[in-house]
Amino acid sequence: MGTKEINLIEVDDLTKDYGHGRGVFDVTFNVKEGEVFGFLGPNGAGKSTTIRHIMGFSKPQKGQTRILGMESFGNYFRFLGDVGYLPGEIVLPEGLTGWEFLQMMGDLRNLHDNTRLKMLLERFKLNPKGETKRMSLGDKRKLAIVAAFMNDPKVLILDEPTSGLDPVMQQVFIDYIKEEKKRGKTILLSSHMFNEVEATCDRIAIIKDGRIVSMFDANSIKHNENKNFFIKFKKKDEFDKFLKLLPVSKKRKIKVSKPYINKIDKNSKSLIAYCNDKDINQLVPLLSDYQIETFSENKVTLQDYFMQFYREDKNFGGVF
C-alpha cells in the first residue's frame, strides 16, 4: 500500500547563534522525496544560514541537518553528485571563462554527458564564452543555474534563484522548476517572490528572526476561502458593543474556522474581522443590529499573509 515517504532533506532543531539575536534558532522541517518546499522570509530571517547548514558548509551549534539521509556536515563530497545547489550570492572564481567554469564544475562531479548542459544553455539563453568577471548579474546567475543543474541532480537546493533574472527569464525558470517537479525532483526553494512560490511549492514555511513562524500546505492558500472583512461603524457605543461579541486574536495560526477580530482602530470605529466563507452566517447576521458605514471583504492571499511578516504588524493576525 503506497510507497513509504522518505525525507531527503531533514532539519532538526538547527541552531546557530551569531549573537545579538541573529542566526537561526530551533529550526525544524523536512522535505519529502518529490516535494517542492518553499522557504520564505524577509531579509536577514535566516534562509541562507539554514541552507548553508543543509549543504554542510557550516557546523550547527545545536541540532542537525541531513541530506539524502547523511549528516550534512563533513559529507559534502559524498552527496555533491546528487545535489544541485544554487547559492544566494553567486561568487565565481576569477580568471575563468564561463565554459571553463562549467568544465570545472562538470569534472568535479564526473560529468561526461553534455546533453543536459546544452539544453540548459539554450533554454536560459546563455553564451558562456566570455570571462566570468565581465558577465552581467543575470548571466552570472544563469551560469550558476546551468552549473547546478547540468548533471541532473536528484535534489535541488535553490537560494533565491530568480533574483537578478529579468521577468522573462524568471518565467523560464519557474517553468523549468515545474518540469523538474514533474520529473520527481525534491526541491527546496528560498524566495521573496510570491508568484514563484505559489506556482511551484507543495508546502511553505515562513521564517522570521531565525525562527519558523508558520508552516502550511500550499493548497490551503490556493483553495482558501478565508476573508478579512473591513467593518466601519457609525456609532461609538455600537462599535464598543460589537467588540465584545467576537474573540480578538493576535495569534498567527494557520487554520481557524470561527470568525474573530484581527485588528481594531478605535479612532475610526473600524475593525477587521477574519472569517472563513463557510462560517459567514456567524458574522454577517450579527451586523444587522448595528449601523454600518462601510463593509468590504478581502480574500487572504499568500502575499497578504506573507506581508504581515515584512511589515512587522503586530496586530494583524492574517490567517488561512
Ligand X SMILES: Nc1ncnc2c1ncn2[C@@H]1O[C@H](COP(=O)(O)OP(=O)(O)OP(=O)(O)O)[C@@H](O)[C@H]1O
Give the binding site for ligand X (CB under 6 A): 18, 22-23, 41, 43-49, 88
| H helices, E strands: number in the chain | 10, 14
Q: Which of 39, 45, 48, 120 binds Mg ion (CB under 5 A)?
A: 48
Helix 167-182 and helix 137-149, axial crossing angle in degrees, nearest 10: 10
Q: Which is nearer to ligand X, 201 or 231 (CB)?
A: 201
The answer to whether 31 and 186 have CB atoms below 8 angstroms apart is yes
Q: Which is nearer to ligand X, 109 or 211 (CB)?
A: 211
Q: How far is the CB of 245 from Mg ion (least distance, A)?
A: 44
Query: d(Cα 218, Cα 36) in Å, to the nearest integer?
Result: 10
Q: How far is the CB of 50 from ligand X (least distance, A)?
A: 7
Cell numbers placing 52: 548553508
Q: Cell numbers 543575470 label which residue?
A: 138
Q: Which is nearer to ligand X, 206 or 231 (CB)?
A: 206
Q: Which is nearer to ligand X, 39 or 242 (CB)?
A: 39
Task: Kindly give the pairing relationship between strand 186-191 and strand 36-40.
Answer: parallel
Q: How far is the CB of 41 from ligand X (least distance, A)?
A: 5
Q: How far is the CB of 191 from ligand X (least distance, A)?
A: 9
Binding at 45: pick from ligand X, Mg ion, none (beta carbon under 5-8 Å per type): ligand X
Q: Which of 88, 106, 138, 164 binds Mg ion (CB under 5 A)?
A: 88
Cell numbers placing 117: 548542459
Q: Which is nearer to ligand X, 48 or 224 (CB)?
A: 48
Q: What angle do CA 126, 128, 133 make, to 5 degrees?
A: 115
Judged by CB under 5 A, does residue 81 bind Mg ion? no
Query: d(Cα 206, Cα 184) in Å, to the nearest integer?
Result: 24
DSSP code of 6? -
Binding at 318: pick from ligand X, Mg ion, none (beta carbon under 5-8 Å per type): none
Enumerate binding residues for Mg ion (CB under 5 A): 47-48, 88
